């Protein structure tokens, strides 16, 4: 079986697959985040929720899910764990009881200062110039959007 788009002698193996590069890079990035976040008592998904709330507190579960591309069925247990850790509070929206608003607690607000070093540490671990970092970020955003569009069109 051959494909006209593949070079002669091409053999399918993980090292030649872009998806493996992305998978292995994801794993390596998580290994950089893990010790930084464990000192804060956070997992990576919890850290993402916190960064969104530090940007704008009091968002709904739906708004958080939209930003993180997560269903509320995935996000709700995560938020409940964070609430039990004392990092945030969930309350029904007064104007629409169907919505749940998530607000940072005092401990959650304080954690922003404690976590302020994390982005710099992670950026340094990438070993890229600022220009390369920005270019990679933009390229990955384009790839993600293209893949989502493709996936959405296949599902329709």
Domains of the chain by residue range? 14-116
- CB distance 75 to 68 below 8 Å: yes
Using the 8-state DSSP alphabet, how is residue 95 labeled?
A: S
As a whole number, mean pLDDT of residues 31-56 equals: 97
- pLDDT classification of 23: cutoffs 50, 70, 90: very high
Query: Which token pair is 154?
Result: 């296949």
The topology (CATH level 3) of 14-116 is Arc Repressor Mutant, subunit A (1.10.10)
- Quick one: pLDDT at residue 1? 45
Cα-Cα-Cα-Cα dihedral sign, residues 6, 9, 12, 18: negative
- Quick one: pLDDT at residue 103? 97
Is a pLDDT exceeding 90 seen at residue 106?
yes
């Amino acid at each position: 079986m051959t494909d006209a788009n593949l070079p002669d002698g091409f053999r399918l193996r993980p090292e030649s697959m872009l998806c493996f590069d992305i998978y292995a890079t994801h794993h390596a990035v998580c290994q950089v985040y893990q010790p930084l976040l464990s000192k804060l008592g956070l997992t990576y998904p919890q850290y993402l929720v916190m960064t969104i709330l530090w940007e704008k507190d009091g968002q709904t579960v739906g708004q958080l899910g939209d930003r993180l591309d997560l269903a509320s069925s995935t996000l709700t247990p995560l938020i409940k764990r964070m609430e039990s850790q004392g990092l945030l509070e969930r309350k029904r929206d007064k104007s629409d009881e169907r919505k749940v608003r998530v607000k940072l607690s005092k401990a959650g607000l304080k954690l922003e200062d404690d976590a302020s070093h994390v982005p710099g540490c992670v950026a340094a671990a990438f070993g890229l110039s600022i220009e390369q970092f920005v270019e990679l970020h933009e390229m990955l955003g384009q790839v993600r959007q293209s893949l989502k569009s493709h996936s959405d069109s296949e599902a329709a």
